[in-house]
Amino acid sequence: MHAAYGTEPGKVSFANNCLLARRLVENGVRFVQLYHWGWDHHGSSRREDIRYALQPQAKSVDQPLKALIQDLKQRGLLDQTLIVFGGEFGRTPMRENRNGVEGPYIGRDHHPYGFTMMMAGGGFRRGFNYGETDDIGYYVTSGKMTPRDLQATILHQVGLDPYRLHYPYQGLNQRLIGPTDEGRVMRELLA
C-alpha cells in the first residue's frame, strides 16, 4: 500500500503527506491541506531553472496523487472528498526575462490570464478538460473561469453558499469570492 504512494520511511515528502491525508479523511477529518513547495521556477538560479527543477518536481507528485485518488475511490470516499491540486496563479508559456536580459537559466513568470487546476471527486465531472488557451497558451479562448468562479464552485460543492458566506475583517463583511456577485458557480464542471 505504501509502495503505491512512493513513500519513504522517516522522510518528509509529498507522498508521505498524501498517505497521511488519506488516513485523516478515513478518520473523518473534514479539511486537509497539503503544501508542496518549489514550483516558483523563475529561472534566477539553477535551482529555479525549469530544465532541471520542473521534471523532478512533477514526478514527486504524480504517483502519490494517483494513489490518493485510487485509494479514496476504492474506499468509497472519493465522491464525498474534493481534491483540488494547483497553485494560486498560472505560469507564462514563454521564457522569463529579468530586466530585459536573458540569463543562463530558464524560467517562467507569474501569469494572470491562464491557470491550470486538477480536481477530483467531490461531485465534479470525471475525465474531462475545461477551457482552452490560444496557440501559445497565453490568453483564454474558451471556457474562461476566474479565480472567483473557482472559489464559488468549490464553496458550493462543500455545502457553503458563496454569496452568503462572509467573515468580519477590518470593519467589513468580507467574502471569499470578493465584494460583488461576479463569482459564478461553474455548473458545467459538476457531475
Does residue 80 sit within a domain? Answer: yes
Q: Indicate the SS3 state at residue 126.
A: coil
For residue 38, the tally of other CB atoms under 10 A from its CB is 13
Model pLDDT, residue 1? 64
**98 and 191 inside one domain:** no
Does residue 179 sit within a domain? Answer: yes
If one counts the domains in the chain, the total is 2
180 vs 57, which has greater pLDDT? 57
Give the pLDDT band of residue 178 (cuts 50, 70, 90): confident
Residue 89 near residue 110, CB atoms below 8 Å: yes
Residue 106 near residue 43, CB atoms below 8 Å: yes
DSSP 107: -
CA angle 51, 56, 57 (to 5 degrees): 100
Mean predicted lDDT score pLDDT of the chain: 92
pTM of the model: 0.89
Does residue 139 sit within a domain? Answer: no
Residue 104 has pLDDT above 70, yes or no: yes
Domain that holds residue 191: 145-191
Render pLDDT for 36-93 as a digit per residue (tens, 0 to 9).
Answer: 998 989 988 999 999 999 999 999 999 999 999 999 999 999 999 999 999 878 888 8
Cα atoms found within 13 Å of the Cα of residue 106, Cβ hemisphere only: 9
